[in-house]
Amino acid sequence: MITLNEYKKTDNEYQDKNNIDTVNLAKELEKLTNEDIQIKLDLNDNRLSIMISNDTPINFRYLEYQKQYSFGLWQHLRYINYEDIKKIEKNYTKPKNIGVLNAKKVNDWITYYKKIYQDLVKESQEKQDKVNNFLTNFKRVMTSLKTEEYTYLREGKNWNDKPDFTYSGMITKKAIQFHFEINNNGYISQKIDIKTYGLEGDLLDNFVKLSDNKL
């Protein structure tokens, strides 16, 4: 983040005009609310955007083609996706669009997104707790079985080779395999399979042994 006074011009006249317009808009917005106003600089294209509030990442901009101002959440909460946001938005009445800025309209939108964000934080934490509890139990079972057969627990990584909090794992005990996957929405899928490859003898005989717990 940079402050309103920290922006420095570049050698791109068109980009500078857009960025200066953004800085001026941020200054205008600062007069209408007590929230903290900051400017975010995208290093990839040197474009500025306005962020509102310390505790809620609200994005603010002017839509030239629609001739109105727009608010939105700039959230990166763990296990929260677009569908989660839309589901929670239904619990609140969306303020009217803003064609002309005034303090009431601006603060109505800020309050709206603060409420939504608080609910998203709670849902994110609930999903994280569920995932953590499952992983703790999986590790306990994996350790207690002391199996030397094909067993693993893997943590997924994103394109930047950093953990993305997705997981997969398997426990193999004799002819039974337990497998799970946790996706980027925190959903835990689980299944139990019967391992038939590598078994010696007739499949029906192996079934009888398995049903008698002798395999």
Domain with 52, as residue range(s), is 13-125
Question: What's this model's pTM, rounded to 2 decimal places?
Answer: 0.79
Q: Choose between 202 and 14: higher pLDDT.
A: 202
On whether residue 131 sits in a domain, the answer given is: no
On whether residue 3 sits in a domain, the answer given is: no
Q: Choose between 12 and 207: higher pLDDT.
A: 207
Spatial distance between the Cα atoms of 163 and 198, rounded to a whole number of angstroms: 34
Do 121 and 151 belong together in one domain? no
pLDDT of residue 174: 79
Spatial distance between the Cα atoms of 84 and 119, rounded to a whole number of angstroms: 10
Name which of 86, 78, 73, 182 is nearest 126 in CA terms.
78
Cα angle 177, 163, 182; round to 5: 35
Q: How many domains does the chain have?
A: 2
On whether residue 17 sits in a domain, the answer given is: yes
Contact yes or no for 176/164 (Cβ under 8 A): no
- Above 90 in pLDDT, residue 109? yes
